[in-house]
Structure 1
Amino acid sequence: MNVPPAALLNKTKKNFIGLPAPLGYVAGVGRGATGFTTRSDIGPARDASDVSDDRHAPPAKRGKKQEEEEDLNDANYDEFTGYGGSLCNKDPYDKDDEEADAIYESIDDRMDEKRKEYREQRRREELENYRQERPKIQQMFSDLKRDLAQVSEDEWSCIPEVGDARNKKQRNPRMERFTPLPDSVLARNMGGETVTAIDPTSGLASMMPGTNTVGPGMVTPSGDLDLRKIGQARNTLMGLKLSQVSDSVGGQTVVDPKGYLTDLQSMLPQYGGDINDVKKARLLLKNVRETNPNHPPAWIAAARLEEVTGKVQSARNLIMKGTEMCPKSEDVWLEAARLQTPEMAKAVIATAVRTLPFSPRLWIKGANLETEPKAKKKVFRKALEQIPNSELLWKCAVDLEEEEDAKILLSRAVECCPTSVDLWLALAKLETYENARKVLNKARESNPKDRNIWITAAKLEEANDNAMLVSKIIDRAINTLVANMVELNRDQWIKDAVEAEQSGSVLTCQAIIKHIIGHGVEEEDRKHTWMEDADSCASQGAYECARAIYAHALAVFPKKKSVWLAAAHFERSHGTRESLESLLQQAVTHCPQEEILWLMGAKSKWLAGDVPAARSILALAFKANPNSEEIWLAAVKLESENNEYERARRLLAKARSQAATPKVMMKSAHLEWALNNLDLAKKLLDDGIKQFSDFPKLWMMKGQILEQEGAIDAAWDVYREAVKKCTQSIPLWSLLAALEERRGRATTARATLEKSRVRNPMNEQLWLLAVRLEIRLGNKEVARSLMARALQECPSSGLLWASSIFLEDHARRKSKSVDALKKCQDDARVVLAVANMFWMDGRKNKAREWFNKTVKIDPDLGDAWAWYYKLELVFGTPEQQLEVQERCVKADPRHGEHWQAVAKHISNWRKKTDEILKIVADKLPIPVPTCQHL
């Protein structure tokens, strides 16, 4: 049959030639190519309506004629200017017109120059405002582009590669869909000859006698598994998966099946990182090594990368190649020795020391690889032959020797390293006293600028009972160092003194303090600086250093009361009773007019049980201060505490006649009140009120005595008169309001408290009294309203915030306590309220923690100690109760609402701190979720 040539052409023509590309087609995507987009595809990064600037000037218009044809229509004719004003525009100007135009133009240019700067500034501002409202796309990302400067190299390397973001259908519209193989394929290939069976003890299967199953879903007709067939089936599945990701174009493949399986088998299960990150890091390090093969860190990093991924042998090979490329690097050799086995590491170090014989680190590594002490010594001796001036090698070698051999080695060491102070001091420590002095003298000659040699010499003399030489050595040391232009660091010398005290060299530390404490301190700053130094030493436990600082300060400032008091408080806390009394005797000799020093001395004697000595001290104090109220009252207290009431009465009578003061009158009445002489007490109070009507405690005592006798009306009259005389006394207002409430006059009590707040604005105690009054009357909402007003007037009052917590419902107390802690973070009363809240919730350990925090913030708050002791009485052990009691006695608290109510009661006037603690704790209720804490 004859076929026309045209038909042959149509038959050979490909069916896709001339047709449009499929949707989403990207050439070469099967080989890993990805599409890209240029600026011309998306246009400029601007809106069409953006205002143009100098960088993006609008294109000039083209295709328009510069001159339009003249319009000669009658409608365009003007009687004066002609057709559109253009009849004469082509005529030449007259000379006068040209001159005038030039003048006007020059004027316009001149005016334009004047306004140019303003106009340009205004244009820039308008453009800037416009850019802020409608920024360009490139400006939107300017802050992110600036942040790219802070991206580290590791973060750059962690950025993933940009892949093809299209979905699967767009990438390959004609892609085949594969369905996972069914289990029947595995079942057909599991028969055949049995090669071996799974070991029942291997943990992979559990073969039970009489059954033919190995785990769930695996049926074995013959009772054994053909592992060869299972392996073949697994390889078949893996091959199918690999063929799915391969590309048949040109016979190339994206994934190497053998390499892929090899990489999977080489991975350690314990490595949890991304394998892609490892490959990137491996590639980067390879590039670094190829670019600069003599860079040691590149080889070390590559070896450690392989070590991390579990390829220890590859790491060893890499680092050994690194030793060939960087033979002069200590770090590479040390890394190679670390990666090798102990035996191979010895060989590596041997090669290293032949290459770098003057590296102490390599020799030390070689010695550490040895297990026998004899071999270690041998290595160090060979090292010292090569590097005799290495201080580090000498120290390591000496550490391995016995005392006698170490002495010989140190003798040689100081010859080879005469500037090593540590070696000189070590040798001096091993020598006898006479030889040590010689060694230290030679050390000073070799190191004239080192202070440690001088300090060691002083310690040596102190250890051999040459106390006279200690101070001379330290003095000479400072003079010699100053002569050698050495800058004396005062803080470092004080630190050396602290270390000397800790090592037992007390004389040395005192000598250092004595000669260095005044160095580099301005004259006007000496007292303040020395007190800070003493506190710092005491906080570090260096009490002898602190005592030496106080002694020097007292020698310089013998008339300063504050220095004597600081030294006395230090001795009372960290010294003995004898040292305190000795110090106070010196203090009253230099400052006889300071009453508190006399009182401290008398109290020390009294606490020691020496009452006659305390009386004698107070008698001397009377001579030095004849009309001192404090000394009179101290003498009265001494006598009354020792049951010498007649002596106390005579002293008070003499004091009233010689130095009548409000406190003397109060103490006189208080003594009679305590001894139940109420008539005499009232008479003394009346005399005191006549002389000192503005002293509120006299009024308070008189009112309380009348209440004790049952004369309520008379007491009310006293309080009413008292608040007129002492309007600022909060306890008087409190007593008056409480008495009116007890008389059943709640409205009057409320009015009294309102009047007191008017007279004493912004007083937290008066607000709290008003709140508690409303709670007792059952007006809880009114109490909350009052508390809100109180917190507005006193926003930082810890007392009010602590009370406001228990005004809230139980569910809202936690949030209220958080607000209270924010407002008054370091207020002990707020912390105490939070501790009680934890106790209410049954969290006793948390409550104990917060009680402890409270007494640390304010040890003088007696209520905190009482609540803490109450908690231990309920939940604690006897040891914990005793601990709280001892801490409270040591703190000796004086304040607190519950504490003062018990301590100031007339029946408890002679009770000690521990007794008051037990009484207060016994009266406190166990916390329950109510408002009783208010």
Structure 2
Amino acid sequence: MSSAQVSKQRKAFLSQAPPPGYVPGLGRGATGFTTRSDIGPAREAGDISDERHPRPGKKSKTDDDDRSDEEDLNEANFDEFNGYGGSLFSSGPYDADDREADRIYNSIDSHMDKRRKERREKRFQEEIEKFRQERPKIQQQFSDLKRALSRVSNDEWLSIPDVGDARNKRERNPHVRPDRYTPVPDTVLQRAINQTGRHNTLSAAQLAGGYITPYPGTLTQIGGTITPGFATSTHIDLKQIGEARNSMLGVKLDQVSDSVSGQTVVDPKGYLTDLNSITPQSTGDINDVKKARLLLKSVITTNPSHAPGWIASARLEEVTGHIQKARNIVMQGCDACPKNEDVWLEATRLQPDDQAKAVIAQSIRQLPQSVKLWIKATELETEVSAKRSVLRKALEQIPTSVRVWKAAIELEEVEDAKILLNRAVECCPLSVELWLALGRLESYENARKVLNKARENIPTDRLIWITASKLEESQENLHMVPKIIERALSSLQANLVEINRDQWITDAEECENSGSVHTAQAIIHAVISIGVEDEDRLDQWVEDAESCTAHEAYQCARAIHAHMLKVFPSKKNVWLRAAYFEKSHGSRQQLEELLQKAVAHCPKAEVLWLMGAKSKWLSGDVPAARSILALAFQANPNSEEIWLAAVKLESESGEFERARRLLEKARSSAGTGRVMMKSAKLEWVLKDLTKARELLEEALEKHPDFAKLWMMRGQLEEERGDIAVARDIYNRGVKKIPNSVPIWLLLSRLEERNNNITKARSILENARHKNLQTPELWLEAVRVEVRGEKKSIGMGLMAKALQECPSSGILWAEAIFMELRPQRKTKSVDALKKCEHDAHVLLAVAKLFWTERKISKGREWFQRAIKIDPDLGDTWAYFYKFEQQHGTEAQQEAVRKRCNVAEPRHGEAWCAVSKDMKNWQKHTDQLLPLVANSLPIPM
């Protein structure tokens, strides 16, 4: 026996018996303990005998030979309990405990299977029923018919006719044999070819042999020799086929022509056009129409009095193009449902104009009280007199129909309309529209009487009271307006009518739109507090004012603000909101009157004083502005804002000496860093640089943490040309205020202008370490590389910047235009996903459309950017430049006016121009074109 055979018969290692004297763990030194098995059994009298655990018998060689190793997958080697390879513990005996355990497990499995059996059978039955519903058997489909056969009598069975012979006379003649077609075997065809010796194709062998014939496709084979023959040619002439097709089309057109009258039924020129006008219907559509027609036929057959069935059936035929069939069906519906107005209306719609009148007349005879039928009859008439006649007949039948009265009144002149309205309100006393229409046509005195009668008949309607108030306002009886509104509310509440506050505010807005301003304001004052809790009043009223402003009901919003000021006279925010409203939607006089009241109630509110002074200054009344500021000084002594406002007033008016004296007093009484800065700036713009430097040095000693002082000090030295001193000042500034980003930027740009690019990079890197996640520093680092013609390095820095500041709009805006043209749109989409509401990104997208010559989209995105942040001056400047290039003068003027109202103060390009000392006295309308001219056209 070979070694391979021996290895195959050898059992697995874990299945082998241990050698004699083997002690587990002895080789590893595990001899420190002794178990019971080492010393042998020690039993008591009551111990269970070993009969339950018999010793395993010695296995014979045959058993070992029959057992295969783990890789033997023969079916003869399969054991139900252990499987193919046997169990890990198969060497042990299968004793009584094992049998007991298996029995218990089997009983548990059987018990669980019985518990699940009912549920399993129920689920199986449900699946079978669902399957049978979706795919029923043939016998199930005809089961109801089979059951019905049990009720058939014998006579009915016998009366069933026999199946007739459907064959014609020739087919029934037994002497005539029917025609039969039997396919001819291929052997017969081949034999015929061999006998005639002619065929029209060449085999592959013949083509390979290189046989050539002067007649392509006509070869004759005789006795194995191929010679030219006269077989039919297989050459295809496409020209002849096209001519044949045209000839066939001409024949078909001639066949459909009228040879008697000489007029063709089909227009040859418009033939294809007519074909295109035909609506193609697929097989599925035809099948659906057939099913729908069958269903609707069943509906109208089983229930002929169901009007919607007739209408649906007629519309189905109309859709499929069978208009006459639709008319016939709907007329049958009218006969079946003569008291249904919808069927008559459908029949009138489907009939031609000349027959529609007859149908509508017939319908009115059936339903004389139907308003819809009378209105339809009126619409069918073309003459006004005929319409009047129809409507008067309708009023004779249904005098209480408001719709018919309104239709009749609309056709009459004013005097006749009054007569009809007087009769209408008698017949329909509960119609508010008729009463109000009559009141509008009457004179003032008669209108009052009409409205009083209307209130008596309809005491629960608010529109009558509102109309009465508008009537008094039209006669300049303004003192009666609030009284009528108050009486209206009390009367409606007495009649248990709920006062809907929102509905009354909507009525007030409608009154304002119609020109009744006092009525609108009276309604607002009367209902503004109804249903509002005391702690929610302010928020609710602010919301109401904003809603009215959004609806352009400015008088209603003004009334709400007036009521808020009356209830909260000492709240500064309420006065400020009202002042901003008047500034945006009111006149200068209204604003100044409101501010005078505001400072009387809130004298400590500096912003109210300043708004009043600015309004006077903008109107050119400088003395009045000074007097307001003087009163503000008395109410707020040593106020920095008021001091600076007074200085700005004098400097803008050209009173520089007066401004200097004011600043000197301000430094002595309120020597803040901002006052010191304004003092130095005034001396700077007046060209006294020595005085400005002295003031800045003094200010830095007192306020070393004020960043703008360091910036002005360094810029002053730059203007004087002392670069070393400026560098030293900036370095001192960043050491003193390391969180001031503008000082870092000024220091970096100073080094870059002096060709110290490496130094500028190191400064910006140091700044980024001390000011993490600062987009301005990253942006400047990128621009340094781009200006140094190292765009690839700049792109890498931009990627890092976007990782650190993923929601920075200025970085995304710069990244869009750093890409090549094809990639800019994709980059802009990414930017909008990250910064959807950032004005810089919206401005970049607008510029992108500008470069692509998409004018309308560019203008739209400029509008969005302005709406998001109206304080960004760069957006206004780019928008103005865009309109200069692609807009009209009116559009440019509109941008300029809106910019003046917004008064922007921020933006990189805007601040570069507005902070220039040469432009310190220029206003917004003067700065806008300067900034626009300094901007490059996007490329």
TM-score under structure 1 length normalisation: 0.72
Q: Which residue of structure 2 lines up, in the alignment, with residue 402 of structure 1?
A: 413
Match of 1:217 in 2: 247
Residue 462 (structure 1) aligns with: 473
Other-structure match for 1:921: 932
Q: Partner residue of 1:372? A: 383
Match of 2:551 in 1: 540
Match of 1:692 in 2: 703
Map of 1:488 onto structure 2: 499
Structure 2 SS opposite 1:467: coil
Matches within 5 A, 1:648-727: 648-727=659-738
Residue 614 (structure 1) aligns with: 625
- Length, aligned pairs only: 721
Match of 1:553 among 564, 582, 586: 564
C-alpha distance in structure 2 between counterparts of 1:220 and 1:660, whole Å:
106
- 1:342-361 mapped onto 2 (5 Å cutoff): 342-361=353-372
Counterpart for residue 261 of structure 1: none
1:673 and 1:636 map into 2 onto residues whose CA distance is 15
**Distance (Å, rounded) in 1 between the aligned partners of 2:839 and 2:181:** 78
- C-alpha change, 1:358 and 1:728, in structure 2 (3 Å) is same
| CA distance in structure 1 between the aligned counterparts of 2:638 and 2:459, rounded to whole angstroms | 62
Give the 3 Å change call, closer, same or farther, for CA 660–672 of structure 1 in structure 2: same
Shift of 1:217: 2.8
Q: How far off its partner does 1:369 sit?
A: 1.8
Offset of 1:764 from its aligned partner?
0.4
Whether the 8 Å contact between 1:307 and 1:315 is mirrored in structure 2 is yes
Alignment of 1:875-914 (within 5 A): 875-914=886-925
Q: Structure 2 CA distance, aligned partners of 1:379 and 1:457?
A: 35
Displacement of 1:797 after TM fit?
0.6
State the Cα distance separating 1:647 from its structure 2 match: 0.7
Cα distance between partner residues in 2 of 1:628 and 1:429: 60
Q: Distance in 2 between matches of 1:175 and 1:485?
A: 98
Q: Distance in 2 between matches of 1:520 and 1:121?
A: 67
Question: Cα offset for 1:815?
Answer: 1.4
Secondary structure of the residue aligned to 1:871 is helix
User: Helix, strand or coil: the match of 2:373?
Assistant: helix
Letter of the 1:770 counterpart: A
Alpha-carbon offset, residue 120 of structure 1: 8.3
Deviation at 1:404, TM superposition (A): 1.6
1:268 touches 1:309 (CA, 8 Å); kept in 2? no
Relative to structure 2, which stretch is displaced further, 875-884 or 478-487? 875-884
Which residue is equivalent to 1:857?
Answer: 868
1:530 aligns with 2:541: yes
Shift of 1:218: 7.0
Cα distance, 1:137 vs structure 2: 14
Change over 3 Å in CA distance of 1:218–1:293 after alignment to 2: closer
Compared CA separation, residues 740 and 80, structure 1 to 2 (3 A) = closer
Q: 1:267 to 1:382 in 2, by over 3 A?
A: farther
Q: 1:519–1:114: structure 2 CA closer, same or farther, 3 Å change rule?
A: farther
Counterpart mapping for 1:315-330 below 5 A: 315-330=326-341
Deviations 1:822-871 (A, max 9, x none): 11122121122223233334444543443333223322211122222223
Task: Show the 5 A alignment for 1:330-479.
Answer: 330-479=341-490
Q: Hey, what's the Cα distance between the residues in 1 that align with 2:928 and 2:868?
A: 19
Change (3 A) 1:847 1:344: closer
Distance 1:554 1:566 in 2: 10
Structure 1 CA distance for aligned equivalents of residues 110 and 592 of structure 2: 85
Matched, 1:625 2:636: yes
2:574 corresponds in structure 1 to 563
For the pair shown, which has the larger CA radius of gyration, 1 or 2? Answer: 2
Structure 1 contact 802–830 (Cα < 8 Å) conserved: yes
CA–CA distance in structure 2, aligned partners of residues 927 and 818 of structure 1: 18
Q: CA RMSD in A?
A: 3.7
Give the structure-2-normalised TM-score: 0.72
Contact 1:267–1:310 (8 Å) recurs in 2: no
Measured in 2, the distance between the counterparts of 1:664 and 1:378 equals 87
- Contact 1:268 1:310 (C-alpha < 8 Å) held by counterparts: no
Amino acid at match of 2:536: D
The DSSP-based 3-state class of the residue aligned with 1:806 is helix
Per-residue CA distance 1:441-466 (angstroms, 9 max, x = gap): 11111111111011011111111121
Are residues 1:518 and 2:548 paired? no
- Which deviates further from its counterpart, 704-713 or 390-399? 390-399
Paired with 2:625 and 2:258, the residues of 1 have a C-alpha distance of 106
Distance 1:219 1:113 in 2: 85
Q: In structure 2, what is the Cα distance between the partners aligned to 1:313 and 1:319?
A: 10
Give the whole-Å Cα distance in 2 for the aligned partners of 1:924 and 1:268. Answer: 57
Distance in 1, matches of 2:806 and 2:697, equals 41
Q: Deviations over 1:268-291 (max 9, x none)?
A: 964444444333322221111112
Q: CA deviation at 1:881?
A: 3.0
1:225-275: CA deviations, max 9, x gaps? 7879999xxxxxxxxxxxxxxxxxxxxxxxxxxxxxxxxxx9996444444
Q: Relative to 1, partners in 2 of residues 1:357 and 1:114: Cα closer, same or farther, differing over 3 Å?
A: farther
AA paired with 1:462?
A: E
Q: Are the equivalent residues in 2 in contact too, given 1:271–1:308 (CA < 8 A)? A: no
> Greater RCO between the two (CA within 8 Å, min separation 6)?
1
Unaligned runs of 5+ in 2: 1-52, 57-96, 135-179, 185-242, 261-273
Show CA shifts across 1:56-95 (max 9, x none). xxxxxxxxxxxxxxxxxxxxxx9999xxxxxxxxxxxxxx
Query: In structure 2, how many angstroms separate the alpha carbons of the residues matched to 1:574 and 1:467?
Result: 24
Matched, 1:868 2:898: no
Q: How does 1:775-790 map to 2 (within 5 A)?
A: 775-790=786-801
